[in-house]
């Protein structure tokens, strides 16, 4: 009977997919680099570029953006590795970028002398490939060797090569992992732990690796020893190594769904499963204390630990059955934990209260945790730029909507010094910031930030850009944007950021409130903020535009299909839009934990109510939307934007479409590409809203 049920389920899935395919006349646009699809893309690009470039402000806006991206006054953000600080840098002379380093002492000087480790422009020319730098993993504690990640055109799939920082060359016959969506880290000088595409059957339905192996130097990749195998239906199996001064912890992380996991630690050449809640997040190790962040309440031996709390327990005792956790941090209704970072003698907690950051230093002394607030700036967003596990040095950043990002250095003796700061790329003194709240459909109060000129008139005529995301527990916190400043605010615009449910502004509960069948709450929140802006006479539908990318692209796609009466411009970037097929293309299956599974009738019933692609109505009057994406986006398939645009055009609904041929899940690889696409977006907004 069980086998019959399984076979029936498989048959129904095949029939459902077949029905979906036959009902969609635009499937050919999912052929990413197919001749017909690319001909369509190039034709749409020309229509859009011709129209946007004709606007009198286009060249000015593009120049403003490019000047910021190429500015030598930008902060070269550091990463501490041993005695060195590394940085990746792009400008007008180094379009694809330089990976470089200097000493920490030199970095703290006014004039920094950088040593180039790898020139991506030279490498691209030498190999005839458009390489983009994607990251690096170091051997510890000796950081002379690393694995460099190189991406073709900015895609998520990367090629990994062993690199020697002493010779500044790739290691001949060294470790090499072919292009794939992989994770790799060092066990020791001669062994890697990795998950990648090992060939047929080694990937999940989400297109990520499902097998983890140990690879010994001098052997072929297909000879690597299998350590763990996940299931086809899993999101992925990832690997990484946590290095601390006391010991290293090699981790195999099985993502069952986007929000449920199993985690294993390699001990004595065997994997030991960590007995944690499936949705608990492992935040690392500190002085052999395992740090665990809870996404839901957890009852353990008559103790209930609160959702959003950070716990610790001695790792060795935990492995032997001890469940006596200590609470390091516990949130309240308006606070959450943004991040956790380690130094040698304390951890750093980035606490967020009412969408504003504060930095807490916590030490583990005589079996107890202490708490001390770091004297960092207030009323903005703090980020840990880099921290050193082997000293107490770290760098943090501070920013808000009107204060340029600044970089602070904290020395071993805990002296805090502002070492670098962005210049004012626009006249911040002319503007002010307020935080308002809007009442959503169910009565929940939704906070939002608004940046506007001090002399703004409340007459409903102000061109206003409303930005939102609302997904995956990602918080929209205050940040300085030179581009928004010089390309929107300075040219008469108002900028608004909505902190809607689905995000992480108030911790896991704020995110989980809008999961799956409750997704409409996120969209109701966004509509409520728009209506509040209009009721306050800050703007009106004629002058109100919205923008979002990725999940935010889905957000604005829903917004304009559900409430076209509220908006006159929509920047829909790298979006999910076809929610019937999102789980069938690229990494889409990994997001079913967020949206649900459209192949399950009960779940498609609620997804279908908001899926933008399926809710277009040619009888409605829609704003003239701008869709943007990139051909090399191998996370959110460009077919979403392509098909939506084509369908709207065939329904007689006018729209703009622009697709960059490079860029991955972003706006481009080079500063020129990023500036062009961003200029297209902002020029479009000025064209539509003024």
* Interior angle at CA 294, CA 290 and CA 296, nearest 5: 155
With tokens 């059957």, the residue in question is 201
Reported as half-sphere exposure (CB side, CA atoms, 13 A), residue 194 has a value of 28
In what helix (H) or strand (E) does residue 450 lie, and over which residues does it extend?
strand 445-453
135 Cβ neighbours under 8 A, 6+ residues apart: 148, 149, 158
Alpha carbons 350 and 348: distance in angstroms, whole number = 6
For 290-338, give the DSSP string: EEEE-SS-EEETTEEEPTT-EEEEEHHHHHTT----EEEE---TTEEEE
Alpha carbons 573 and 52: distance in angstroms, whole number = 16
Three-state DSSP class for residue 547:
strand
Alpha carbons 127 and 159: distance in angstroms, whole number = 13
Q: Residue 540: how many CB atoms within 10 A of its CB?
A: 16
- Exposed/middle/buried for 39, CB within 10 Å: 0-12, 13-18, 19+? exposed
Is 71 known to be catalytic? no
308 Cβ neighbours under 8 A, 6+ residues apart: 293, 294, 295, 330, 331, 336, 337, 507, 508, 509
Residue of 357, 405, 522, 550 with catalytic role: 550
Reported as half-sphere exposure (CB side, CA atoms, 13 A), residue 65 has a value of 25
Integer CA distances (angstroms), 628 to 23, 268, 679, in order: 25, 50, 12
With tokens 């957000």, the residue in question is 555
673 Cβ neighbours under 8 A, 6+ residues apart: 660, 662, 663, 667
For 494-542, give the DSSP string: EEEEE--BTBSTT-HHHHHTTSGGGTHHHHHHHHHHHHHHHHTTS--GG
List beta partners, residue 497.
449, 467
Alpha carbons 486 and 61: distance in angstroms, whole number = 8
* Residue 648: φ, ψ to 5°: -65, -45
Helix axes 35-53, 639-650, angle to 10 degrees: 70
Map 256-285 to HEC letters. CCCCCEEEEEEECCEEEECCCCCCCEEEEE
Q: Which letter does DSSP use for residue 587 in this model?
A: G
List beta partners, residue 239.
252
Alpha carbons 348 and 369: distance in angstroms, whole number = 12
Is 424 known to be catalytic? no
Sign of CA dihedral 8, 26, 554, 565: negative
Map 404-447 to HEC letters. CCEEEEECCCCCEEEEEECCCCCCHHHEEEEEEEEECCCCCEEE
Three-state DSSP class for residue 8:
helix
Residue of 81, 637, 665, 686 with catalytic role: 665
Structure token pair of residue 431: 């503007």
Three-state DSSP class for residue 26:
coil
Task: Report long-range pairs for 391-396 (Cβ below 8 Å, ≥24 apart).
Answer: 391/343, 391/344, 392/343, 392/344, 392/345, 392/346, 393/80, 393/104, 393/343, 394/80, 394/341, 394/343, 394/348, 395/78, 395/80, 395/419, 396/348, 396/359
Alpha carbons 309 and 508: distance in angstroms, whole number = 10
Contact 583, 591 (CB under 8 A): yes
Active-site positions read 550, 665
């Amino acid at each position: 009977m069980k086998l019959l049920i399984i076979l029936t389920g498989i048959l129904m899935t095949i029939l459902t997919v077949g029905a979906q395919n036959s009902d969609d006349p635009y499937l050919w646009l999912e052929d990413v680099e197919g001749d017909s699809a690319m001909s369509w893309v190039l034709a749409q690009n020309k229509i859009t570029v011709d129209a946007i470039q004709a606007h009198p402000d286009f060249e000015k806006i593009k120049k403003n953006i490019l000047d910021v991206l190429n500015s030598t006054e930008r902060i070269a953000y550091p990463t501490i590795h041993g005695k060195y600080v590394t940085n990746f840098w792009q400008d007008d002379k180094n379009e694809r970028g330089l990976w470089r380093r200097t000493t920490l002492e030199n970095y703290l000087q006014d004039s920094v002398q950088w040593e180039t480790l790898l020139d991506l422009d030279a490498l691209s020319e030498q190999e005839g490939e458009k390489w983009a730098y994607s990251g690096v993993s170091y051997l510890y504690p000796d950081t002379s060797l690393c694995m460099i990640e190189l991406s073709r055109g900015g895609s998520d799939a990367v090629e990994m090569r062993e690199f020697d920082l002493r010779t500044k060359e790739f290691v001949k016959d060294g470790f090499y992992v072919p292009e794939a969506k992989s994770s790799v880290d060092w066990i020791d000088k001669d062994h890697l732990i990795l998950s990648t595409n090992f060939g047929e059957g080694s990937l999940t339905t989400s297109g990520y690796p499902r097998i983890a192996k140990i690879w010994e130097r001098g052997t072929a990749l297909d000879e690597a020893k299998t350590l763990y195998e996940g299931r086809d239906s899993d999101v992925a199996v990832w690997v990484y190594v946590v290095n601390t001064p006391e010991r290293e912890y090699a981790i195999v992380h099985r993502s069952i769904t986007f929000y449920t996991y199993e985690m294993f630690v390699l001990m004595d050449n065997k994997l030991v499963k960590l007995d944690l809640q499936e949705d608990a997040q492992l935040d690392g190790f500190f002085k052999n204390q395992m740090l665990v962040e809870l996404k839901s309440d957890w009852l353990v031996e008559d103790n209930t630990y609160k959702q959003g709390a950070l716990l610790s327990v001695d790792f060795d005792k935990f492995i032997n059955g001890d469940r006596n956790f200590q609470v390091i941090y516990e949130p309240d209704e308006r606070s959450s934990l943004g991040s956790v970072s380690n130094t040698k003698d304390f951890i750093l907690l980035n606490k967020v209260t009412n969408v504003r950051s504060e930095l807490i230093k916590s030490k583990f002394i005589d079996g107890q945790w202490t708490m001390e607030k770091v004297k960092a700036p207030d009323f903005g967003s703090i980020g840990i730029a880099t921290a050193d596990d082997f000293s107490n040095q770290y760098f943090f950043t501070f920013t808000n909507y009107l204060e340029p990002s600044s970089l602070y250095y904290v020395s071993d003796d805990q002296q805090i010094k502002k070492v670098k700061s962005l210049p004012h790329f626009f006249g911040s003194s002319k503007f002010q910031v307020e935080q308002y709240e809007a009442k959503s459909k169910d009565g929940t109060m939704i906070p939002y930030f608004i940046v506007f000129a001090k002399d703004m008139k409340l007459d409903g005529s102000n061109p206003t850009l409303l930005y939102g995301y609302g997904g995956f527990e990602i918080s929209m916190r205050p940040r300085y944007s030179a581009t928004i400043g010089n390309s929107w605010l300075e040219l008469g615009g108002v900028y608004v950021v909505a902190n809607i449910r689905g995000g992480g502004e108030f911790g896991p509960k704020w995110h989980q409130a809008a999961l799956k069948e409750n997704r409409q709450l996120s969209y109701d929140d966004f509509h409520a903020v728009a209506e509040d802006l209009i009721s306050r006479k800050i703007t009106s539908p004629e002058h109100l535009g919205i923008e979002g990318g990725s999940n935010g692209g889905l957000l604005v796609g829903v917004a304009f299909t559900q409430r076209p009466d509220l908006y006159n411009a929509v920047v829909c970037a790298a979006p999910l839009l076809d929610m019937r097929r999102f789980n069938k293309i690229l990494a889409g299956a990994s997001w079913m934990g967020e949206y649900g599974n459209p192949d399950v009738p009960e779940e498609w019933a609620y997804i279908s109510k908001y899926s933008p692609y399926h809710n277009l109505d040619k009888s409605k009057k829609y704003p003239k939307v701008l869709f943007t994406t990139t051909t090399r986006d191998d996370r959110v398939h460009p077919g979403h934007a392509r098909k939506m645009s084509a369908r709207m055009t065939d329904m007689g609904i006018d729209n703009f479409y622009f697709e960059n041929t490079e860029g991955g899940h972003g706006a481009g690889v080079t500063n020129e590409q990023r500036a062009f696409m961003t200029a297209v977006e902002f020029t479009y907004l000025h064209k539509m809203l003024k």
